[in-house]
Amino acid sequence: MTVVRIHLISTLSPKEVLGVLTDFGPSRPQAWPTIDAEHFTVHELGDTFAEVTEGTAAAWERARYQWDPEGNEVTITTLDSKLFGAGGGWVFTMTPEGRGTRVDVRLTREPAGLKGKMLASLLPVVAPSALRKSLAGPLKAEK
């Protein structure tokens, strides 16, 4: 298992960050640079959860999002993925900081197959800067 941890400082409030992370409307592919419309499907959506497939042709994943609408955490569990096995995922934790929010991100990957194992070994080196860049726009944070 590979774990990568980063944090960002967002100009959004914790509730606004939660809203961005859990907005599964049709504009999601335009808001997130790592999602294209062809690889975005909402399978099930409730008040505190969503099951979606999202990503690109090169790297998609089907995941279950869970959150408390009044809480400060979004947990995303990978169910299936083109590159990695089930069971990994993401945890986003939001903490008020100054006029915005500190967003702590923990990415966990379970390598599946040779390609997944090779990519997982590179994640600690390449993922922090790539994640900051891809999350900065939607979460209104510094890169």
pLDDT at 142: 78
pLDDT at 82: 85
More confident residue, 109 or 143: 109
Domain boundary assignment for the chain: 2-139
Mean pLDDT on 113-141 = 83
- Dump pLDDT digits (tens) for 81-107: 888 888 899 999 999 999 999 999 999
For residue 20, pLDDT over 80 is answered with yes
For residue 75, pLDDT over 90 is answered with yes
2-139 CATH choice from 1.10.8.100, 3.30.530.20, 3.40.30.10, 3.40.190.10: 3.30.530.20
CA angle 99, 100, 106 (to 5 degrees): 155
pLDDT at 91: 98
Which one-letter amino acid corresponds to residue 134?
Answer: S
pLDDT at 135: 95
- Percent composition of the chain: helix, strand, coil (DSSP 3-state, to 5): 30, 45, 25
Q: What is the residue-averaged pLDDT of the chain?
A: 92
pLDDT at 143: 63
27 Cβ contact partners less than 8 Å away, ≥ 6 residues apart? none
Mean pLDDT on 46-60 = 95
